[in-house]
Amino acid sequence: MTSDFIVGIDLGTTNSLVAYMQGEIPAVIPGEDGLNLVPSVVALDEKNQVVVGNAARKYLIETPERSVYSVKRLMGRGIEDITEELKLFPFHLADDIQAGEVLRIKIGERTYTPPEISALILRQLKRNAERFFGGPVAKAVITVPAYFNDAQRQATKDAGRIAGLDVLRLVNEPTAASLAYGLDKKKNGIVAVYDLGGGTFDISILKLHDGIFEVIATNGDTHLGGDDIDNLLITIALDDIRGDLGLDVRRNGETVARIRKAVIEAKIALSSQASATLDVELPGGKRYQREVPQQAFEQLIQPVIDRTVGPCKQALKDANLKPAQIDEVVLVGGSTRIPKVRQLVQNLFGRVPHTDLNPDEVVALGAAVQATILGGGSEVTKEMLLLDVTPLSLGIEVAGGVTDKIILRNSTIPASATQYYTTQVEGQTNVAIHVLQGERELARDCRSLARFDLKGVPPMPAGMPRIEVKFLIDANGIMQVSAREQRSGKEAQIEVQPSYGLTDEQVESMLLESFDYAEEDFRQRQVIEARREADTILAALVKGKKNDAWRQLTSAERRKVETLEKALVAVKDGDDYHAIRTGIDTLNQGTMRLAELMMDSAVTTALKGKAMDDTGLEEGPQAGHPVAKADFE
């Protein structure tokens, strides 16, 4: 039943995780390096191979132009709305991007769209899960910030598809966290989830009722998080270096990356220490050192963390609740480790927030719970149901550039609205609809989601056709539209032009491309794994030769083993998987007699009361799991 694994994925700005339900308890699946967190960093190594996660981190400093981080900030966005981002993040964009186009980011000589980069991270997580289960993983629940708009959600779903995952559901991060918390606390009441991550902030207020998790209101800021704190410190460091040392390193990617690393370490230290030191090596043998006292740090970040207050108040207002009516407050996201943030939340809601679950992992754990719910449920999840809301109002541009809201924010999803349109000119056969998302009165202040062209309206006198357009926001928070001309009963054709998204064809071709890369990746992985196995067996042989058993072999036998050994050494550093594989297998065969003799002597030794450890016997090479390619519908 391995094909039925549904994993929960937290695709974060800074770190990503994959989790599953281990029986009735959600658990994070570690990577090959044994670590739960996979940094959301993608780089190309010296051989132009894609490297993801911890292994990619060193390239942020060594070859910043060949690596990218915090790509989540660019998901579902256009060139015109990332000017602020570009000032603070070293994104290398392709030179020819037009307004309204999907962004393309340069990594070395290649260019990738944000969903493709996210797909590389997702593929790494998928691989980690496949290694863990020893079988293919094709279905996933992926979390998104609750305040993500339609375009950002669509981009995340596209990333999943490009990574070869069937995304069963996008779940809002704070809601997922509440699922993880709600598992063992079968309580009813009102819960507020305050989620300050690496790049996004969400506040969600939920009503828990006999296993139903009903979101009442949500609010947030998709560009507010730990990154902003880092950038404040980086700016100070850069100014210091220019002022005190007379060095302008702003354009020096490597140095900026070093400063960033130092700043993050200092930030983390300041959550538990009264002071931290920034210490960065600069070009020309100079050094930047600065002491950062906690108090100064707290003063510095106050304006950033204060930006979370407005959304919290708005969410309370929308939920029609006073802070005193909130029964519990839950903290999510790495940035909530900062004592000043905890204090702010405590003041805001008048109670000590919960921090029992690891704020870095709780979202992924909740996603795993939701994955189980979607998979048909288990004993603990069978009563659980998530009722989420749309964070932003959906509107339509009407005469005068005004937004006519048709689905209000905080409506439980799925939600729908039906609008009627007619023509203004005799015989008009097309009607254009501009769909917007946001709370502002004017269309130009809202987020443009898509332009629809209703085609094939039967020619009639102006005002005669009655076109029914149904807008529906599905359980992922993504909009669907259908239209019908009522007098003729004709299904009107809709041509969708997503304002910032990829077309289905683009996603499809990226998926195919990723298969090509996947093939390539797979071969490389095979080679690496085989090489590792060769090293293990060769090392075992070196030890074996020191064993008495070696001398018990005939000289012909010894010569044969040494020939095979040389043969394997000769091929193991090459890229020919089959040659390495054959070398390993023949050497394994050739040393069978040696192994037997060693075993005998080990047993004899053991009988003589000697410890096994001294025999030079080692565990055999581990057979690597061949990772099967998943089948896609």
Q: Which residues of the chain form contacts with another protein (CB under 8 A)?
A: 168-169, 209-210, 212, 370, 373-376, 385-387, 411-417, 472-475
Q: Please give the angle made by the CA atoms of 303, 73 and 179, to the nearest 5 degrees.
A: 85
Q: Which two tokens stand for residue 221?
A: 């800021």
Spatial separation of the C-alpha atoms in residues 326 and 190, rounded to whole Å: 5
Of residues 441 and 596, the one with the C-beta less far from another protein? 441
Query: Which of residues 183 and 276 has its CB atom nearest to another protein in the complex?
Result: 183
How many whole angstroms separate alpha carbon 193 and alpha carbon 522? 40
Q: Give Dmax (Cα) for the chain.
A: 105
Closer residue to another protein (CB): 129 or 374: 374
CA distance 124 to 107: 18
In the bound complex, what is the minimum distance in angstroms from residue 590's beta carbon to another protein? Answer: 51
Active site residue ranges? 10, 72, 173, 195
**CB 139, CB 99: distance < 8 Å:** no
Q: Got the DSSP string for 67-117?
A: EEE-GGGGTT--GGG-HHHHHHS---B-TTPPTTSPP-EEETTEEE-HHHH
Shortest Å, Cβ 174 to another protein: 18
Compute the radius of gyration of the chain from its Cα atoms. 29
Encoded amino acid at 402, one letter: V
For another protein, the closer CB: 90 or 375: 375
Whose CA is closest to 332, among 129, 486, 196, 477?
196
- The nearer residue to another protein, 317 or 625, going by C-beta atoms, is 317
Q: Which conformational region is residue 235 in: left (phi greater than 0), alpha (psi within -120 to 50 degrees), or beta? A: alpha
Distance in Å, CB of 599 to another protein, minimum: 50
Pairing, β 41-44 against β 50-52: antiparallel
Q: How far apart are CA 7 and CA 28, in angstroms?
A: 10
Sheet of 415-421, strand order: 415-421, 467-473, 479-485
Minimum gap (Å) between residue 4 Cβ and another protein: 9
Minimum distance of another protein from residue 191's CB (angstroms): 17
Closer CB to another protein, 299 or 420, in the complex: 420
Residue closer to another protein by CB (options 393, 514) is: 393
β-bridge partners, 332: 195
DSSP, residue by residue, 255-297: HHHHHHHHHHHHHHHTTTSSEEEEEEE-GGG-EEEEEEEHHHH
User: Are residues 177 and 100 in contact, defined by beta-carbon separation less than 8 angstroms?
Assistant: no
State which residue, 74 or 137, has the beta carbon closest to another protein: 137
The CA-CA-CA angle for residues 616, 619, 624, to 5°, reads: 150
Q: Where are the alpha helices (DSSP H) in 308-437?
A: 309-319, 339-349, 362-374
Q: What is each CA distance from 183 to 26, 36, 118, 266, 382, in whole angstroms?
A: 10, 21, 29, 35, 11
Two tokens, residue 459: 């020619």
Nearer to another protein, 282 or 475 (CB): 475
Residue in 420, 386, 434, 443 with CA at minimum distance from that of residue 178: 386
Our CB check for another protein shows the closer of 377 and 626 to be 377
Pairing outcome for strands 166-172 and 139-144: parallel
What angle do the packed helices 150-162 and 504-545 form, to 10 degrees? 50
Residue recorded with tokens 């070009």: 283
- Per the DSSP assignment, residues forming a β-bridge with 142 are 9, 170
Contact 316, 323 (CB under 8 A): yes
Between 320 and 555, name the residue whose CB sits nearer to another protein.
320
CB of 415 to another protein, least distance (A): 5
Structure tokens at 25: 């308890």
What's the min distance (Å) between Cβ of 388 and another protein? 10
- Based on CB atoms, which residue is closest to another protein, 167 or 564? 167
- Provide the minimum distance between the beta carbon of 292 and another protein in the complex, in angstroms, as a whole number: 35
Residue 306 CB, shortest distance to another protein, in Å, is 17
- Tokens linked to 323: 């802070």
CB of 475 to another protein, least distance (A): 4
The nearest distance, CB 96 to another protein, in angstroms, is: 39
Cβ–Cβ < 8 Å for 436, 395: yes
Cα-Cα end-to-end distance for the chain: 17
- Say if residues 447 and 479 touch (Cβ distance below 8 Å): no
Q: DSSP H helical segments within 320-463, as ranges? A: 339-349, 362-374
Least spacing, CB of residue 45 vs another protein, in Å: 38
